[in-house]
Amino acid sequence: MVGSALVRRLEAERFTNLLTRDRSHLDLSDESAVAKFFAEARPDIVILAAANVGGIKANNDFPVEFLLDNLRIQNNVIRSAYQTGVRKLLFLGSSCIYPKLAPQPIPESALLTGPLESTNEPYAIAKIAGIKLCQAYTREYGTNFISVMPTNLYGPNDNFDLETSHVLAALLRKAHEAKSRNENKLIVWGTGESRREFLHVDDLAAACLLLLEKYDSAEIINIGSGEDVTIRELAKLVCDVVGFDGELVWDKTKPDGTPRKLLDVTRIRVLGWQPTIPLRKGIEQTHEWFLANWPQK
Ligand code: GFB
Protein backbone atom coordinates (compact mmCIF):
# COMPACT_ATOMS: atom_id res chain seq x y z
CA MET A 1 0.00 0.00 0.00
CA VAL A 2 2.72 2.50 0.96
CA GLY A 3 5.09 1.50 -1.84
CA SER A 4 2.46 1.87 -4.55
CA ALA A 5 1.36 5.25 -3.15
CA LEU A 6 4.98 6.46 -3.25
CA VAL A 7 5.34 5.31 -6.86
CA ARG A 8 2.07 7.06 -7.83
CA ARG A 9 3.28 10.26 -6.23
CA LEU A 10 6.78 10.10 -7.72
CA GLU A 11 5.38 9.40 -11.19
CA ALA A 12 2.94 12.29 -10.81
CA GLU A 13 5.96 14.48 -10.09
CA ARG A 14 7.55 13.13 -13.29
CA PHE A 15 10.32 11.04 -11.78
CA THR A 16 11.38 8.54 -14.44
CA ASN A 17 14.36 6.95 -12.73
CA LEU A 18 12.54 4.76 -10.19
CA LEU A 19 13.96 1.40 -9.20
CA THR A 20 11.29 -0.88 -7.78
CA ARG A 21 11.32 -4.61 -7.04
CA ASP A 22 8.34 -6.58 -5.84
CA ARG A 23 8.62 -9.61 -3.59
CA SER A 24 8.72 -12.07 -6.49
CA HIS A 25 11.84 -10.36 -7.85
CA LEU A 26 13.71 -9.53 -4.66
CA ASP A 27 13.30 -11.16 -1.26
CA LEU A 28 14.42 -8.43 1.15
CA SER A 29 14.89 -10.95 3.95
CA ASP A 30 17.61 -12.65 1.85
CA GLU A 31 20.87 -10.96 2.84
CA SER A 32 22.93 -11.92 -0.21
CA ALA A 33 20.11 -11.13 -2.67
CA VAL A 34 19.77 -7.65 -1.15
CA ALA A 35 23.53 -7.05 -1.22
CA LYS A 36 23.65 -8.15 -4.88
CA PHE A 37 20.74 -5.89 -5.82
CA PHE A 38 22.34 -2.83 -4.21
CA ALA A 39 25.76 -3.58 -5.73
CA GLU A 40 24.25 -3.86 -9.21
CA ALA A 41 21.45 -1.28 -9.16
CA ARG A 42 23.35 1.35 -7.11
CA PRO A 43 20.33 3.37 -5.93
CA ASP A 44 21.00 6.97 -4.97
CA ILE A 45 18.01 7.41 -2.63
CA VAL A 46 16.23 4.58 -0.79
CA ILE A 47 12.73 4.53 0.71
CA LEU A 48 12.29 1.48 2.93
CA ALA A 49 8.53 0.93 2.93
CA ALA A 50 8.68 -2.87 2.88
CA ALA A 51 7.73 -4.67 6.07
CA ASN A 52 5.69 -7.53 7.41
CA VAL A 53 2.69 -5.57 8.70
CA GLY A 54 -0.79 -6.39 9.94
CA GLY A 55 -3.60 -5.46 12.24
CA ILE A 56 -4.03 -6.18 15.92
CA LYS A 57 -4.89 -9.88 15.49
CA ALA A 58 -2.02 -10.68 13.10
CA ASN A 59 0.43 -8.88 15.40
CA ASN A 60 -0.87 -10.88 18.35
CA ASP A 61 -0.90 -14.23 16.52
CA PHE A 62 2.49 -14.06 14.75
CA PRO A 63 5.02 -12.40 17.10
CA VAL A 64 7.95 -14.38 15.67
CA GLU A 65 7.30 -13.33 12.07
CA PHE A 66 6.65 -9.69 12.97
CA LEU A 67 9.90 -9.53 14.89
CA LEU A 68 12.17 -11.65 12.72
CA ASP A 69 11.00 -10.72 9.20
CA ASN A 70 11.14 -7.02 9.95
CA LEU A 71 14.56 -7.19 11.59
CA ARG A 72 15.88 -9.12 8.61
CA ILE A 73 14.39 -6.82 5.98
CA GLN A 74 15.55 -3.60 7.58
CA ASN A 75 19.01 -4.90 8.60
CA ASN A 76 19.69 -6.07 5.04
CA VAL A 77 18.46 -2.91 3.34
CA ILE A 78 19.99 -0.40 5.76
CA ARG A 79 23.38 -2.12 5.79
CA SER A 80 23.49 -2.48 1.99
CA ALA A 81 22.49 1.17 1.64
CA TYR A 82 25.47 2.15 3.76
CA GLN A 83 27.86 -0.22 1.99
CA THR A 84 26.95 1.10 -1.46
CA GLY A 85 27.06 4.76 -0.49
CA VAL A 86 23.35 5.60 -0.70
CA ARG A 87 22.97 9.40 -0.43
CA LYS A 88 19.78 9.34 1.64
CA LEU A 89 17.55 6.66 3.12
CA LEU A 90 14.05 7.07 4.54
CA PHE A 91 12.95 4.35 6.97
CA LEU A 92 9.26 4.00 7.75
CA GLY A 93 8.46 3.15 11.35
CA SER A 94 5.06 3.21 13.02
CA SER A 95 3.15 5.03 15.74
CA CYS A 96 3.11 1.77 17.72
CA ILE A 97 6.77 2.32 18.69
CA TYR A 98 5.58 4.66 21.45
CA PRO A 99 4.69 3.51 24.98
CA LYS A 100 1.14 2.25 25.52
CA LEU A 101 0.39 5.06 27.92
CA ALA A 102 2.35 7.85 26.21
CA PRO A 103 1.14 11.45 26.64
CA GLN A 104 -1.38 12.50 23.97
CA PRO A 105 -0.76 13.81 21.38
CA ILE A 106 2.48 11.78 21.35
CA PRO A 107 5.67 13.79 20.86
CA GLU A 108 8.70 12.19 19.24
CA SER A 109 10.47 12.48 22.62
CA ALA A 110 8.15 9.79 24.08
CA LEU A 111 10.18 7.04 22.39
CA LEU A 112 11.53 4.52 24.95
CA THR A 113 9.98 6.25 27.94
CA GLY A 114 7.66 3.39 28.98
CA PRO A 115 6.31 -0.14 28.32
CA LEU A 116 4.85 -0.93 24.88
CA GLU A 117 1.35 -2.22 24.05
CA SER A 118 1.52 -6.02 24.35
CA THR A 119 -0.40 -6.83 21.14
CA ASN A 120 2.23 -5.22 18.95
CA GLU A 121 5.37 -5.30 21.05
CA PRO A 122 7.38 -7.55 18.67
CA TYR A 123 6.61 -5.33 15.66
CA ALA A 124 7.35 -2.20 17.68
CA ILE A 125 10.67 -3.63 18.92
CA ALA A 126 11.67 -4.41 15.32
CA LYS A 127 10.79 -0.87 14.22
CA ILE A 128 12.65 0.66 17.18
CA ALA A 129 15.68 -1.44 16.19
CA GLY A 130 15.39 0.00 12.67
CA ILE A 131 15.32 3.56 14.01
CA LYS A 132 18.34 2.86 16.19
CA LEU A 133 20.24 1.28 13.30
CA CYS A 134 19.62 4.35 11.11
CA GLN A 135 20.73 6.63 13.94
CA ALA A 136 23.78 4.47 14.64
CA TYR A 137 24.91 4.59 10.99
CA THR A 138 24.47 8.35 10.98
CA ARG A 139 26.38 8.84 14.25
CA GLU A 140 29.18 6.41 13.49
CA TYR A 141 29.54 6.75 9.73
CA GLY A 142 27.92 10.09 8.89
CA THR A 143 25.07 8.79 6.72
CA ASN A 144 21.85 10.69 6.02
CA PHE A 145 19.34 8.02 7.13
CA ILE A 146 16.05 9.47 8.40
CA SER A 147 13.19 7.69 10.21
CA VAL A 148 9.55 8.71 9.92
CA MET A 149 6.69 7.50 12.12
CA PRO A 150 3.35 7.32 10.33
CA THR A 151 0.07 6.93 12.19
CA ASN A 152 -2.50 4.23 11.17
CA LEU A 153 -2.67 4.28 7.36
CA TYR A 154 -5.36 3.29 4.87
CA GLY A 155 -6.10 3.65 1.17
CA PRO A 156 -5.81 1.85 -2.18
CA ASN A 157 -3.97 -1.50 -2.05
CA ASP A 158 -4.70 -1.91 1.64
CA ASN A 159 -4.99 -5.50 2.91
CA PHE A 160 -8.68 -6.52 3.09
CA ASP A 161 -8.13 -9.99 4.60
CA LEU A 162 -10.29 -10.08 7.73
CA GLU A 163 -7.77 -12.01 9.83
CA THR A 164 -4.71 -9.88 9.09
CA SER A 165 -5.99 -6.44 8.08
CA HIS A 166 -6.14 -3.21 10.04
CA VAL A 167 -9.46 -1.91 11.29
CA LEU A 168 -10.47 0.49 8.52
CA ALA A 169 -10.02 -2.01 5.67
CA ALA A 170 -11.69 -4.72 7.73
CA LEU A 171 -14.74 -2.58 8.46
CA LEU A 172 -15.07 -1.49 4.81
CA ARG A 173 -15.14 -5.10 3.70
CA LYS A 174 -17.44 -6.23 6.51
CA ALA A 175 -19.92 -3.44 5.81
CA HIS A 176 -19.83 -4.12 2.07
CA GLU A 177 -20.43 -7.84 2.57
CA ALA A 178 -23.15 -7.34 5.18
CA LYS A 179 -24.96 -4.97 2.82
CA SER A 180 -24.56 -7.27 -0.22
CA ARG A 181 -25.94 -10.22 1.77
CA ASN A 182 -28.80 -8.21 3.25
CA GLU A 183 -27.59 -8.95 6.77
CA ASN A 184 -28.70 -6.76 9.65
CA LYS A 185 -25.65 -7.13 11.93
CA LEU A 186 -21.98 -6.31 11.64
CA ILE A 187 -19.41 -7.61 14.13
CA VAL A 188 -16.79 -5.11 15.31
CA TRP A 189 -13.90 -6.15 17.56
CA GLY A 190 -13.31 -4.77 21.04
CA THR A 191 -15.37 -2.25 22.96
CA GLY A 192 -15.29 0.56 20.39
CA GLU A 193 -13.79 2.90 22.98
CA SER A 194 -10.20 2.87 21.66
CA ARG A 195 -9.21 5.93 19.70
CA ARG A 196 -7.18 5.86 16.49
CA GLU A 197 -5.78 8.48 14.14
CA PHE A 198 -6.04 7.69 10.42
CA LEU A 199 -4.04 9.06 7.50
CA HIS A 200 -4.67 8.41 3.81
CA VAL A 201 -1.62 6.79 2.23
CA ASP A 202 -1.47 9.46 -0.51
CA ASP A 203 -0.99 12.10 2.19
CA LEU A 204 1.78 9.95 3.68
CA ALA A 205 3.50 9.71 0.27
CA ALA A 206 3.47 13.51 -0.07
CA ALA A 207 4.93 13.84 3.44
CA CYS A 208 7.73 11.36 2.66
CA LEU A 209 8.74 13.28 -0.46
CA LEU A 210 8.80 16.54 1.46
CA LEU A 211 10.98 14.97 4.15
CA LEU A 212 13.36 13.59 1.54
CA GLU A 213 13.78 17.13 0.27
CA LYS A 214 13.78 19.07 3.52
CA TYR A 215 14.59 16.89 6.50
CA ASP A 216 18.14 15.74 7.24
CA SER A 217 18.03 14.90 10.94
CA ALA A 218 18.55 11.53 12.63
CA GLU A 219 15.75 12.48 15.06
CA ILE A 220 12.51 10.62 14.30
CA ILE A 221 9.59 12.62 12.94
CA ASN A 222 5.84 11.89 13.23
CA ILE A 223 3.40 11.91 10.30
CA GLY A 224 -0.28 12.04 11.23
CA SER A 225 -3.53 13.81 10.51
CA GLY A 226 -3.63 15.43 13.95
CA GLU A 227 -7.15 14.12 14.65
CA ASP A 228 -8.46 10.87 16.06
CA VAL A 229 -11.82 9.10 16.38
CA THR A 230 -13.14 6.25 18.49
CA ILE A 231 -13.48 2.87 16.77
CA ARG A 232 -17.23 3.27 17.32
CA GLU A 233 -17.22 6.58 15.41
CA LEU A 234 -15.10 5.01 12.66
CA ALA A 235 -17.44 2.02 12.34
CA LYS A 236 -20.46 4.33 12.00
CA LEU A 237 -18.69 6.46 9.41
CA VAL A 238 -17.67 3.42 7.34
CA CYS A 239 -21.22 2.01 7.49
CA ASP A 240 -22.58 5.37 6.40
CA VAL A 241 -20.21 5.57 3.42
CA VAL A 242 -20.96 1.98 2.38
CA GLY A 243 -24.71 2.38 2.94
CA PHE A 244 -25.11 -0.35 5.56
CA ASP A 245 -27.65 0.61 8.20
CA GLY A 246 -27.77 -2.52 10.35
CA GLU A 247 -26.70 -2.95 13.96
CA LEU A 248 -23.11 -2.90 15.23
CA VAL A 249 -22.35 -5.89 17.49
CA TRP A 250 -19.26 -5.57 19.70
CA ASP A 251 -17.08 -8.66 20.08
CA LYS A 252 -15.47 -7.93 23.44
CA THR A 253 -13.43 -11.14 23.33
CA LYS A 254 -11.14 -9.32 20.86
CA PRO A 255 -8.48 -6.91 22.16
CA ASP A 256 -8.85 -3.13 22.12
CA GLY A 257 -5.11 -2.62 21.92
CA THR A 258 -3.65 0.68 22.94
CA PRO A 259 -6.33 3.07 24.27
CA ARG A 260 -5.16 6.01 22.19
CA LYS A 261 -2.29 6.90 19.85
CA LEU A 262 -2.65 10.37 18.44
CA LEU A 263 0.62 11.75 17.13
CA ASP A 264 1.95 15.21 17.88
CA VAL A 265 2.58 16.51 14.36
CA THR A 266 4.02 19.92 15.26
CA ARG A 267 7.44 19.09 13.85
CA ILE A 268 6.29 18.13 10.34
CA ARG A 269 3.73 20.96 10.20
CA VAL A 270 6.52 23.45 10.79
CA LEU A 271 8.22 22.05 7.68
CA GLY A 272 5.15 22.99 5.64
CA TRP A 273 3.24 19.69 5.27
CA GLN A 274 -0.37 19.09 6.13
CA PRO A 275 -2.83 16.37 5.15
CA THR A 276 -5.26 17.11 2.32
CA ILE A 277 -7.67 14.16 2.46
CA PRO A 278 -10.35 14.34 5.18
CA LEU A 279 -11.29 10.99 6.73
CA ARG A 280 -14.73 10.71 5.15
CA LYS A 281 -13.46 11.58 1.69
CA GLY A 282 -10.57 9.12 2.08
CA ILE A 283 -12.97 6.34 3.12
CA GLU A 284 -15.21 7.11 0.12
CA GLN A 285 -12.23 6.93 -2.24
CA THR A 286 -10.95 3.70 -0.65
CA HIS A 287 -14.45 2.22 -0.87
CA GLU A 288 -14.50 2.97 -4.60
CA TRP A 289 -11.09 1.36 -4.98
CA PHE A 290 -12.32 -1.67 -3.04
CA LEU A 291 -15.42 -2.05 -5.25
CA ALA A 292 -13.30 -1.86 -8.40
CA ASN A 293 -10.60 -4.26 -7.17
CA TRP A 294 -12.28 -6.77 -4.87
CA PRO A 295 -12.10 -9.74 -4.99
CA GLN A 296 -8.47 -9.33 -5.97
CA LYS A 297 -7.83 -10.31 -9.58
O1 GFB B 1 -6.16 -1.40 13.11
P2 GFB B 1 -5.95 -2.38 14.18
O3 GFB B 1 -5.97 -3.83 13.78
O4 GFB B 1 -4.58 -2.16 14.90
O5 GFB B 1 -7.09 -2.21 15.30
P6 GFB B 1 -3.95 -1.24 16.06
C7 GFB B 1 -7.46 -0.97 15.79
C8 GFB B 1 -8.67 -1.11 16.71
O9 GFB B 1 -9.80 -1.47 15.92
C10 GFB B 1 -8.55 -2.16 17.81
C11 GFB B 1 -10.49 -2.53 16.55
O12 GFB B 1 -9.13 -1.63 18.99
C13 GFB B 1 -9.39 -3.29 17.28
O14 GFB B 1 -9.94 -4.15 18.29
N15 GFB B 1 -11.25 -3.30 15.56
C16 GFB B 1 -12.60 -3.37 15.51
C17 GFB B 1 -10.77 -4.07 14.56
N18 GFB B 1 -13.00 -4.20 14.54
C19 GFB B 1 -11.88 -4.64 13.92
C20 GFB B 1 -11.66 -5.52 12.83
O21 GFB B 1 -12.58 -6.09 12.21
N22 GFB B 1 -10.36 -5.72 12.46
C23 GFB B 1 -9.32 -5.10 13.10
N24 GFB B 1 -8.07 -5.34 12.66
N25 GFB B 1 -9.51 -4.29 14.17
C26 GFB B 1 -1.80 -1.94 14.84
C27 GFB B 1 -0.54 -2.65 15.24
O28 GFB B 1 -2.46 -1.70 16.01
O29 GFB B 1 -1.55 -0.68 14.24
C30 GFB B 1 0.46 -2.64 14.19
O31 GFB B 1 -0.86 -3.94 15.68
C32 GFB B 1 0.63 -1.29 13.51
O33 GFB B 1 1.68 -3.05 14.75
C34 GFB B 1 -0.69 -0.64 13.19
O35 GFB B 1 1.38 -0.43 14.32
C36 GFB B 1 -0.54 0.78 12.71
O37 GFB B 1 -4.07 0.20 15.72
O38 GFB B 1 -4.47 -1.64 17.41
CATH number at residue 19: 3.40.50.720
| Number of domains, the chain | 1
pLDDT tens track for 226-253: 999 999 999 999 999 999 999 999 999 9
What is the distance in A from the centroid of ligand 1 to the CA of 166?
5
pTM of full prediction above 0.85? yes
> If you average pLDDT over residues 112-120, what whole number do you get?
96
Q: Order of strands, edge to edge, in the sheet holding 88-92?
A: 45-48, 88-92, 145-150, 221-223
Is 120 inside a domain boundary? yes
What is the distance in A from the centroid of ligand 1 to the CA of 201?
17
Atom of ligand 1 nearest to the CA of 58: 31
What is the distance in A from the centroid of ligand 1 to the CA of 91?
22
Question: Which pLDDT does position 178 carry in this prediction?
Answer: 97
Question: Which pLDDT does position 240 carry in this prediction?
Answer: 98
Atom of ligand 1 nearest to the CA of 59: 31
The whole-chain average pLDDT of the chain stands at 97
Task: Take atom 25 of ligand 1 and give the residue whose Cα is closest.
Answer: 167
Atom of ligand 1 nearest to the CA of 96: 35
Is 119 inside a domain boundary? yes
CB 228 within 8 A of CB 196: yes
Q: Which of 57, 189, 223 to mutate to test the pocket of ligand 1 (most atoms within 8 A of CB)?
A: 189
> Which amino acid belongs to residue 123?
Y
| Ligand 1 pocket at CB < 6 A | 55-57, 59, 94, 96, 119-120, 123, 152, 165-167, 170-171, 188-190, 194, 196, 231, 254-257
Is 253 inside a domain boundary? no
Number of neighbouring beta carbons within 10 Å of residue 278: 12
> If you average pLDDT over residues 168-183, what whole number do you get?
97
> Which amino acid belongs to residue 222?
N
Domain that holds residue 86: 2-158+197-227+261-278
Is 294 inside a domain boundary? no
Question: Which pLDDT does position 53 carry in this prediction?
Answer: 97
pLDDT tens track for 6-23: 999 999 999 999 999 999
Is 10 inside a domain boundary? yes
Q: Which of 1, 56, 154, 176 to mutate to test the pocket of ligand 1 (most atoms within 8 A of CB)?
A: 56
pLDDT tops 80 at residue 288: yes
Write phi, then psi, for 234 (nearest 5 degrees).
Answer: -60, -45
pLDDT tops 80 at residue 297: no
Q: Report the distance separating Cα 252 and Cα 163, nearest Å.
A: 16
The answer for residues whose C-beta is within 8 angstroms of residue 255's C-beta and 6 or more apart is 56, 60, 119, 189, 190
Write phi, then psi, for 186 (nearest 5 degrees).
Answer: -135, 125
Question: Where residue 294 falls among pLDDT bands split at 50, 70, 90?
Answer: confident
> If you average pLDDT over residues 152-156, what whole number do you get?
98
Task: Take atom 9 of ligand 1 and give the residue whose Cα is closest.
Answer: 167
pLDDT tens track for 74-99: 999 999 999 999 999 999 999 999 99
Task: Report strand pairing: 260-261 vs 228-230.
Answer: unpaired
pLDDT tens track for 197-230: 999 999 999 999 999 999 999 999 999 999 999 9
Is 283 inside a domain boundary? no
CB 51 within 8 A of CB 92: yes
Question: Where residue 30 falls among pLDDT bands split at 50, 70, 90?
Answer: very high
What is the distance in A from the centroid of ligand 1 to the CA of 55?
5
The answer for residues whose C-beta is within 8 angstroms of residue 95's C-beta and 6 or more apart is 106, 149, 150, 151, 152, 197, 222, 224, 261, 263
Catalytic site residues? 123
pLDDT tops 80 at residue 118: yes
pLDDT over 70 percentage in the chain: 99
What is the distance in A from the centroid of ligand 1 to the CA of 59?
9
pLDDT tops 90 at residue 295: no
Question: Which pLDDT does position 296 carry in this prediction?
Answer: 66
